[in-house]
């Protein structure tokens, strides 16, 4: 995929230009479904492009604990909330290049309520996809991609 090649060259190239190191991190958000053949293939491709990463490869799942702590901190500081809109409703609320987005009705729920639901999500007590953690961004911003 050309986008992956561009990213690899950019990241490893910047590290080389400035005398730094570049890590190879796999975004294994569902580690049970990841296959070693894909990891091996990516490593082979990075080497074929002429790059070598610093140390052992890394995995997003290695940091799940830290990411979870940050998520709770964002909720506690009022920077994120648990949203229970459906995927279709989230798309509708997101807006478009011609129509500003709008805030979810769950955006202003109390932080403690979002924390309780978020902890239920982690414990597997919520139906898959019934709730998501969202950052409190400006929904009327003209750049709906961000």
pLDDT tens digit sequence for 9-63 = 999 999 999 999 999 998 887 767 778 888 899 999 999 999 999 999 998 888 9
Average pLDDT of 54-76? 94
Residue ranges of the alpha helices (H) in the chain? 2-17, 36-48, 64-76, 87-94, 111-122
pTM above 0.85, yes or no: no
More confident residue, 105 or 145: 105
The least confident of 51-55, 125-129, 139-143 is 139-143
Q: pLDDT at position 6, please?
A: 93
Residue in the structure block whose two tokens are 């409190």: 136
């Amino acid at each position: 995929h050309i986008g992956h090649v561009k990213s690899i060259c950019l990241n490893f190239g910047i590290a080389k230009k400035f005398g730094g190191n570049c890590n190879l991190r796999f975004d294994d958000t569902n580690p049970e479904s990841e296959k070693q053949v894909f990891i091996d293939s990516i490593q082979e491709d990075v080497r074929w492009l002429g790059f070598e990463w610093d140390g052992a490869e890394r995995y997003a799942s290695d940091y799940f604990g830290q990411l979870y702590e940050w998520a709770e901190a964002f909720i506690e500081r009022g920077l994120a909330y648990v949203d229970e809109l459906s995927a279709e409703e989230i798309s509708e609320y997101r807006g478009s290049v011609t129509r500003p987005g709008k805030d979810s009705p769950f955006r202003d729920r109390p932080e403690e309520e979002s924390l309780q639901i978020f902890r239920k999500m982690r414990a597997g007590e919520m139906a898959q996809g019934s709730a998501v953690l969202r950052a409190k961004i400006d929904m009327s911003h003209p750049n709906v991609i961000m």
